[in-house]
Amino acid sequence: MTYIENVFLCLAIPLILSLFFTEGRGRRFTLFMTLGMGICLLSAYVSSFFMVYYGTSATVTAIEITPVCEEVMKLLPLLFFEPEAKELPGVAISIAVGFATFENVCCLVENGAANFTFLLIRGISAGALHILCGIFTGFAISYLFRRRWLALTGTVGVLGACVGFHAIYNLLVTAQGAWRTAGYLFPSLLIAVLFLTKRLLLQRKISL
């Protein structure tokens, strides 16, 4: 990483300062978005450690190690902070937004800003991936918090689903040709379908 810690500080400091002057949902969103950025930085260290420890290539790490590290670390705040169940989806999405934002910044620092098309496609698809995982995790953990007897097995299942989804995405985008294109497209299409479904359900509810 190229002084990415300095980039993190430059982004995080204004967000942290704003916490002293905001409250309510805006403050909570900023707090967990900043936390998501920190988790992104920390998960990069953890993934790099296991990459060196197991002696794997960058591609194998991206498919087999990174999804586990990132999804576990995004899930942990939801288990330790334990906000009210109804707040969990918003918290999970805030963490996902912060994570995806800082990951895109890392990509920009690593690859430069010359290839705008790549940065745009990669930014949209990776952002959609993390937000989809955040939506699923938030609503699923919120459901499990209200049914404690499902908490352990349910949480493992939620984590497994997110890791699998993330690993498939990384597998596709590290391939070549049509597979890579499919990898970039499928989280973006899924989040578009999810958005349209939500709009249709809201319209149907209003009409009823």
21 DSSP 8-state letter: S
CA-based angle 78:24:26, to the nearest 5?
A: 80
Give the type of residue at 94: S
**Residue 166's CB: how many other CB atoms inside 10 A?**
23
Tens place of pLDDT per residue across the chain (208 aa): 557 889 999 999 999 999 999 988 899 999 999 999 999 999 999 999 999 999 999 999 999 999 999 999 999 998 876 556 678 889 999 999 999 999 999 988 887 778 888 889 999 999 999 999 999 999 999 888 888 788 889 999 999 999 999 999 999 999 999 999 999 999 999 999 999 998 888 787 766 5
Instruction: Enumerate the domain spans of the chain.
Output: 4-207
Closest CA to 195 of 124, 128, 130, 140: 128
Tell me what pLDDT residue 83 has: 53
Cα separation, 71 vs 29, in Å, equals 19
126 touches 100 (CB < 8 A):
yes
Tell me what pLDDT residue 155 has: 92
Cα separation, 183 vs 125, in Å, equals 8
Tell me what pLDDT residue 25 has: 87
149 DSSP 8-state letter: G
Cα separation, 63 vs 174, in Å, equals 8
